[in-house]
Amino acid sequence: MALPEVKITGSHFIGETAIFRECVKVKKVFDEFVLRECIDGIEFETDGCPENYKAVINPMLILRHCNILNPQISDASIKKQKRLRFAGKCCSQVYAKDENGNIIRLKVKNIPSGSKLSKGPKGELCFSFNVKRVYPDANREVFDRLLHFIDQQSFELQCLSEAIIDEENNQINNGELVTSLGIFIAIKFSAEVQLCIPVFGYCQITDECTEDDFCDSFDSEEIPNFNPPQLDKLHPTSS
């Protein structure tokens, strides 16, 4: 099924202002949702530490290189209810910051069973999801646009994540950390599209960065007063 198309030729006026149509290529987010999970007893091990590192780390972890493995979107509609199913596994590398500001890599060592969290092949923290999303306000045309990207396999699923550990159990002992962890995962469903937009005209191109010459600016600086304040300046009304 093809997306609806519009003509991009011609122009129209609003008062005396001419408005043209332009076609631009953008990455549009069609849907997003946030998931959460909390687990007790997760175990990490350090992957090398600086000599001056502190065993106590900041409860807010740093999650980098967030990537979705095996992303899937399918039509899960039933009767008159329009639904999509999103599935995949979002994996991130985990880092922590100690009291000295050192960044320490933490690898997942063990995760208790019964959780959506798991250990990645290189010690990443992974979050498995399988979510059905309902679109009650989407008409047939809008929903067909979403199905178009699924049929063409031209969609992209992105994940953003944040995690925090128990601040009362944030000390590394013998290179290991056992604590409680809470994590938020944001999943974005996007695709590259071409949009027809109204254009009033083109902006003037200016230099991205203009730097004033230091000496030219210095010449305009006021001369400082090198003398101590005088009495008549401190108490102008005294005799």
DSSP 143-154: HHHHHHHHHTT-
- Calculated CA dihedral for residues 191, 197, 199, 202, nearest 10 degrees: 10
Please report the pLDDT score of residue 238 as a whole number: 39
Rounded average pLDDT per 10-residue block, the chain, 239 residues:
57 74 86 94 88 83 93 91 94 92 93 94 95 91 86 89 92 91 94 82 70 72 68 48
In a domain, 207, yes or no: no
Cβ neighbours of 37 (radius 10 Å): 16
Is 232 part of any domain?
A: no
Task: Provide the pLDDT for residue 7.
Answer: 59
17 domain residue, yes or no: no
DSSP-based three-state secondary structure for 203:
coil
Q: Please compute, for residue 102, the number of CA atoms within 13 A of its CA located in the half-sphere on the CB side.
A: 18
CB 24 within 8 A of CB 195: yes
Four-residue CA torsion sign, 5, 73, 161, 55: negative
- The count of domains in the chain is 1
Tell me the two tokens of residue 230. Answer: 């005088």
Residue with tokens 């999650």: 63
> Per the domain annotation, does 239 fall within a domain?
no
Residue 1's H or E segment, with its range, is none
**101 phi and psi angles, rounded to 5 deg:** 85, 5
Query: What are residue 147's phi and psi, to 5 degrees?
Result: -65, -30
- Residue 133 CA to residue 82 CA, distance in Å, equals 8
Calculate the alpha carbon distances from 132 to 34, 75, 82 in Å: 13, 9, 10
Q: Does residue 128 lie in a domain region?
A: yes
- Is 110 a domain residue? yes
Tell whether 139 is covered by a domain.
yes
Tokens at 58, concatenated: 């900041």
Place of tokens 């001369």: 223
Q: Residue 159: name the closest of 59, 28, 33, 26 by CA.
A: 33
- pLDDT value, residue 133: 94
Q: Which domain holds residue 120?
A: 25-199
